Amino acid sequence: MYSANQSRSHFDFFIGATIDSIWANINGSVGVVVAIIGGSVALFEFRRKRAQELLEERRRQEQRFREFRTKLYDEQRPLYARACTLAATLATAETGLEGARQEFLMLYWGEMCLIEDSLVEQAMIAFRKGLINGATRSELEQLAYELAIACRRSLDVAGIFGVGNLDRSAHSTCNA
């Protein structure tokens, strides 16, 4: 058999190999843990940056929308004002109606088609029908007022300018 010295050297070898194996496992585990932590940090950082990029893109889109809305408002307001003035003139004046009628119809068939929304479009159609079909003065006044309300609401998309709900009965000519 083996002598005591030989047994001892095998035992030392076995213990040494076991300790080396344990250290190798620990080093391997530490490497895995470090890799997992590093990967988690990288993923977290990627997601944080992506969320920040998306937020910045959303802000840019909102800014572009505000700029577009402002430009559209700048185009709509004078044409809406002119259409309302012409409708009011046609509803209330007794003389000089042919020029106002012609200009209203030019707006109706022309520039208003480029900038009006569906509310204003329906009000323009209703006023034109009343004008062509010989509506009474009171009916034309009501249609002119409804056109003005539609224009105000169109200009106040999303409450930007604070017009809010407007009641038809609020205008004195509507109650007459």
Going residue by residue through the chain (176 aa), what tens digit of pLDDT does each one get?
555 555 555 555 555 567 667 767 776 777 777 888 888 888 889 999 999 999 999 999 999 888 888 888 888 999 999 999 999 999 998 877 889 999 999 999 999 999 899 999 999 999 999 999 989 999 999 999 999 999 999 988 745 555 555 444 444 444 44
Domain total in the chain = 1
Cβ pair 108, 124 in contact under 8 A:
yes
Residue 55 lies in a domain: no
Rounded Cα distance between 112 and 161, Å, is 21
Residue 105 lies in a domain: yes
Output the pLDDT for position 162. 54
Residue 12 lies in a domain: no
Q: Give the range of the structural domain holding residue 163, as residue numbers without chain letter.
A: 69-175
Among 141, 24, 164, 151, residue whose Cα is nearest residue 93: 141
Residue 16 lies in a domain: no
Residue 42 lies in a domain: no
Cβ pair 87, 104 in contact under 8 A:
yes
Output the pLDDT for position 168. 46
Residue 40 lies in a domain: no
Residue 22 lies in a domain: no
Listed as own residue / partner, the contacts of 97-105 with beta carbons closer than 8 Å and 24 or more positions apart are: 101/131, 104/128, 104/131
